[in-house]
Homo-oligomer: A and B are copies of this chain.
């Protein structure tokens, strides 16, 4: 059986992913980026890679019988001058230069193509370790009310309607009314707005209630750019006096699910994965 190759950036996500893949009975091989990945990668078959050691990366992956590769954890965007391109990478230098010249989306799409051109298949972390994403159903003990369920349905509808416009990672609905739509400002900023509107008496609400719903945007390539819910999201949702948070099951990262469930319980929020048709 071929191994799953994880190109590992920072944080605990690469370690969680590696454990989940092994537990599912598949071999795993970690290519740990120096300066980003944690030392914990050494608990698994691994190689340390400097940014730019393209030749070493692909030789290691081949040597470990890797066919599928996933990029996990945050990586600082490298400056071209900091790259030490090794012999195996020199032939790709013009391609690498082009990649680094564009925006982030361009870079990520370029990296996928670059890796796939060398014969590997790039998989999203939600494919190789689906347990890292939201399951269908409740996480934590709190249950949404019937009114919350109606707000979830309304918000999911608004997000789907916005799909063709590449907007809509997040919507807040309260009392059957869409009160905030996320565009360029990000989820945290949107939740802050809801808190301010609520405190300013602008929301005609009856105590705590309403939901944040998060889904990927249509243009998001889930292989390299999965939306995520963290402890901070839950804290801001509680500050906005929402009843809970619902996310597209299988399409939104819930890293540290146990911790998130405990946090949701502590804040009195429900946290749920709901079915949302995957963006085309």
Q: How far is the CA of A177 from the CA of B161 in the complex (A)?
A: 16
Q: Which residues of B contact A185 (CB under 8 A)?
A: 180, 193, 197, 202
1/0 per position for A192-209, CB-CB distance to B under 8 A? 011001000011100000
Query: Is A184 among interface residues, defined by CB-CB distance under 8 A?
Result: yes
**Interface pair A181/B197, CB less than 8 Å apart:** no
Q: Which of chain B's residues have a CB closer than 8 A to the CB of A180?
A: 183-185
B183:A181 contact, CB within 8 angstroms: yes
* Complex contacts, A184 vs chain B, CB 8 Å: 177, 179-180, 194, 197, 202-203
For A154, the closest partner residue in chain B by CB is: B165
The complex places the Cα of A182 from the Cα of B89 at a distance, in Å, of 47
On whether the beta carbons of A158 and B167 are closer than 8 Å, the reply is: yes
A235 part of interface (Cβ distance < 8 Å) = no
Please tell me if A91 contacts chain B, counting CB pairs below 8 Å. no
Query: When A184-B203, A185-B193 are in contact, do A167 and B157 touch as well, CB less than 8 Å?
Result: no
Asked whether any CB of chain B lies closer than 8 Å to the CB of A178, the reply is yes
- The chain B residue sitting closest to A219, CB to CB, is B177
Contacting pair A158 B154 (CB below 8 A): no
> Residue on B with the closest CB to A194?
B184
Question: A157 touches which one: B157, B164, B181, B193 (CB < 8 A)?
Answer: B164
A103 interfacial contact with B, CB 8 Å: yes
- Shortest CB-to-CB span from A179 to chain B, Å, is 4
Q: Are A164 and B161 in contact (CB under 8 A)?
A: yes
Closest chain B residue to A177, Cβ basis:
B166
Q: Residues 114-155 of chain A: 1 if any B CB is under 8 Å from the residue's CB, otherwise 0? A: 000000000000000000000000000000000000000010
Q: Which B residues are in CB contact (< 8 Å) with A177?
A: 166, 184
Knowing A161-B161, A202-B184, the reply to whether A166 touches B178 (Cβ < 8 A) is: yes
What are the residues of chain B within 8 A of A161 when measuring CB–CB? 161-162, 164-165
- The interface residues of chain B lying within 8 Å CB-to-CB of A167 are 158, 178, 181
One digit per residue, 1 when the CB lies within 8 angstroms of any chain B CB and 0 when it does not, for chain A 81-103 equals 00000000000000000000001
Q: How far is the CA of A22 from the CA of B154 in the complex (A)?
A: 46
User: CA A167 – CA B167 in complex, angstroms?
Assistant: 14
The distance in angstroms between the C-alpha atoms of A183 and B161, with both chains bound, is 15
Ranked 5 nearest A-B pairs via Cβ: A181-B181, A179-B184, A158-B165, A161-B161, A167-B178
15 new A-B contacts at CB < 8 Å, known A185-B193, A185-B202: A157-B164, A158-B162, A158-B165, A161-B162, A161-B164, A161-B165, A165-B178, A166-B177, A166-B178, A167-B181, A179-B184, A181-B182, A184-B194, A184-B202, A193-B193
| A-B residue pairs in contact (CB < 8 Å), sample of 9 | A157-B164, A158-B162, A161-B161, A165-B178, A167-B181, A177-B184, A179-B184, A184-B197, A193-B193
